[in-house]
C-alpha cells in the first residue's frame, strides 16, 4: 500500500496540508463546502444524465464532477464527490435522492428492534469500493494540482438521518431515542462508528490526503447530549483511524472535525487529535481560537449567504474574516455548503479575495 501511494503524481500545491499541520504558507488555502454542485451549469449537465447515487457509484463521473470546480477556480483542495449517506446505505438501508427534497429513507429505523435490520459493520467496507475507486482515479486525474479530501458523516448525524428518514427541523424522532432508548442509541452509534473507521482507513489507502468528519447536526445536541452521544464517537474515529493508518505503514494524514452549530463543543473538540476544527458562521473566529487553543488549525467560516452579495462586498467580508483568523493555522472556507442558486463568479471572488488578502 505504501508503494501504491507513491505512484500518485507529486503534489504541486500543498498549502492545505501545510496549514492543517500548522506549517507556514505563502497564502491561506481556500476551498468551499459543496464546491461540486448544482450552482455549476456543468454539474447540472452531468446530473441531468444520472441518478445522484449512480453518479457516486461511477468513479469516472464522480471524478469528473470533483474536478469541475478546480477547472474554474484556483482552489487549494478537491473534495471527492460522494455523500455522507453512502454509509447507512452500505449498512443495508435504502436511500433515495428526491429532486427538490433531498435524501429520503423510505423505511427509517422506527425503534430499537430495527437495529437487527443492519448489516455487520465489518462488511461495509467492501460495499464502498466504488468510493475508493473514485478517490484513486481522482488522485491520478488531479495530477497534483491540489490535495484530495475524503469525508464521512459523524455518527450522531448519520443516526439522525437513519431515524428521521430525511432532514428535520427538530430531529425530535432521533432525539427521542437518546432520551428513551439510550442503550440502543449507543449500540447504533457504535455500529456506525465501526463502519466509519473502516471506511475512512479505506479512503486513506485509496489516496485521500485529508479527512473531514461532518457533524452537520451538532446544533441539535446541547453540551450534555453532545458529551454523551457525539464526543466519544468523534474521539474514537480520530484515534482509531490514525492508529490504523500508522499500523499499515501509511503516512499520517490530517483530520478535520466540523461540528455545524456545535459552538458549545469547541473546547472539548480542541482536545482531540483532529488537526483542524471547522466552524460555522455563527461563531466569532476570535472566540473559536480561544476555545480550541493555539495548536489547532481553524477552518471556516463566511456565511454562505454572503456569496449573494456583489463581488466588492464579498472582497471586504473576506478581508475582515482573514484579519480575524490570521494567516497561520487557518483554512478559509464558508461556514456551511454553497446553495444551488449561487453565482459561480461570486465563488471566484471569494477564492481570489482569500488569496489576495493573505499573500505575504
Footprint of ligand 1CP (CB under 6 A): 33-38, 47, 52, 79, 81, 83-85, 97, 102-103, 151, 167, 214, 216, 260, 337
Smallest distance from ligand 1CP to CB 160, Å? 9
At residue 239, the 3 state secondary structure works out as: helix
Between 79 and 245, CB nearer to ligand 1CP: 79
Between 52 and 281, CB nearer to ligand 1CP: 52
Between 52 and 130, CB nearer to ligand 1CP: 52
What is the torsional sign of CA 31, 36, 38, 42?
positive
CA 272/CA 234 separation, integer angstroms: 9
Tell me whether residue 34 is one of the annotated catalytic residues: yes
CB of 84 closer than 8 Å to CB of 200: no
Between 229 and 357, CB nearer to ligand 1CP: 229
Tell me whether residue 161 is one of the annotated catalytic residues: yes
Nearest to 217 by CA among 85, 116, 112: 85
Between 52 and 264, CB nearer to ligand 1CP: 52
Smallest distance from ligand 1CP to CB 138, Å? 11
Smallest distance from ligand 1CP to CB 318, Å? 20
Smallest distance from ligand 1CP to CB 328, Å? 25
Smallest distance from ligand 1CP to CB 272, Å? 19
Nearest to 352 by CA among 317, 305, 300: 317
Tell me whether residue 145 is one of the annotated catalytic residues: no
Query: Which of 18, 21, 47, 72 is flagged as catalytic?
Result: 47
CA 272/CA 178 separation, integer angstroms: 23
Residue closest to ligand 1CP when measured from CB atoms: 167
Return the exposure string of 234-259: e unless at least 16 CB atoms fall within 10 Å of the residue's CB, then b: bbbbbebbbebbeeeebeebbbbbbb
Q: Is the peptide bond preceding residue 301 cis, with omega within 30 degrees of 0?
A: yes
Query: Which of 21, 34, 187, 273 is flagged as catalytic?
Result: 34
Query: Which of 18, 50, 72, 83 is flagged as catalytic?
Result: 83
Residue 281 cell numbers, joined: 458562521
Tell me whether residue 339 is one of the annotated catalytic residues: no
Between 81 and 132, CB nearer to ligand 1CP: 81
Tell me whether residue 236 is one of the annotated catalytic residues: no
Residues 6+ apart with CB under 8 A from 322: 28, 330, 332, 354, 357, 358
Residues 6+ apart with CB under 8 A from 99: none
CA 133/CA 9 separation, integer angstroms: 16
Q: What is the DSSP string of 104-132?
A: E-SS---SGGGGGGSPPGGGHHHHTHHHH
Nearest to 35 by CA among 71, 76, 66, 74: 66
Smallest distance from ligand 1CP to CB 82, Å? 6
Query: Which of 161, 199, 233, 330 is flagged as catalytic?
Result: 161
Query: Which of 18, 38, 187, 273 is flagged as catalytic?
Result: 38
Catalytic residue numbers read 34, 38, 47, 83, 161
Amino acid at each position: 500500500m505504501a508503494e501504491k501511494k507513491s505512484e500518485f503524481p507529486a503534489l504541486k500545491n500543498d498549502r492545505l496540508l501545510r496549514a492543517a499541520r500548522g506549517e507556514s504558507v505563502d497564502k491561506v488555502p481556500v476551498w468551499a463546502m459543496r464546491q461540486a454542485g448544482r450552482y455549476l451549469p456543468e454539474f447540472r449537465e452531468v446530473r441531468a444524465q444520472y441518478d445522484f447515487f449512480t453518479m457516486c457509484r461511477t468513479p469516472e463521473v464522480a471524478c469528473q464532477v470533483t474536478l469541475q470546480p478546480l477547472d474554474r477556480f484556483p482552489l487549494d483542495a478537491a473534495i471527492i464527490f460522494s455523500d455522507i449517506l453512502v454509509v447507512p446505505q452500505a449498512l443495508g438501508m435504502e436511500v433515495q435522492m428526491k429532486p427538490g427534497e433531498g435524501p429520503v429513507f423510505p423505511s427509517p429505523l422506527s425503534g430499537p428492534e430495527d437495529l437487527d435490520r443492519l448489516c455487520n459493520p465489518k462488511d461495509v467496507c467492501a460495499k464502498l469500493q466504488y468510493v475508493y475507486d473514485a478517490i484513486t482515479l481522482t488522485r491520478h486525474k488531479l495530477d497534483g494540482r491540489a490535495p484530495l479530501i475524503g469525508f464521512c458523516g459523524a455518527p450522531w448525524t448519520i443516526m439522525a438521518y437513519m431515524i428521521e428518514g430525511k432532514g428535520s427541523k427538530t430531529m425530535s424522532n432521533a432525539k427521542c431515542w437518546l432520551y428513551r432508548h439510550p442503550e440502543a442509541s449507543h449500540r447504533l452509534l457504535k455500529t456506525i462508528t465501526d463502519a466509519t473507521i473502516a471506511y475512512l482507513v479505506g479512503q486513506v489507502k485509496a489516496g485521500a490526503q485529508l479527512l473531514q468528519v461532518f457533524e452537520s447536526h451538532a446544533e441539535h445536541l446541547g453540551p450534555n447530549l453532545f458529551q454523551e452521544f457525539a464526543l466519544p464517537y468523534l474521539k474514537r474515529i480520530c484515534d482509531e483511524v490514525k492508529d490504523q493508518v500508522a499500523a499499515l505503514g501509511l503516512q499520517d494524514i490530517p483530520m478535520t472535525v466540523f461540528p455545524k452549530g456545535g459552538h458549545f463543543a469547541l473546547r472539548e473538540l480542541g482536545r482531540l487529535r483532529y488537526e483542524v476544527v471547522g466552524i460555522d458562521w455563527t461563531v466569532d473566529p476570535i472566540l473559536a481560537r480561544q476555545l480550541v487553543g493555539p495548536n489547532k488549525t481553524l477552518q471556516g467560516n463566511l456565511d454562505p449567504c454572503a456569496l449573494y452579495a456583489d463581488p466588492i462586498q464579498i472582497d471586504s467580508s473576506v478581508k475582515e474574516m482573514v484579519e480575524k483568523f490570521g494567516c497561520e493555522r487557518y483554512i478559509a472556507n464558508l461556514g456551511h455548503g454553497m446553495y444551488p442558486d449561487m453565482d459561480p463568479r461570486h465563488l471566484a471572488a471569494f477564492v481570489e479575495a482569500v488569496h489576495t488578502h493573505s499573500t505575504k
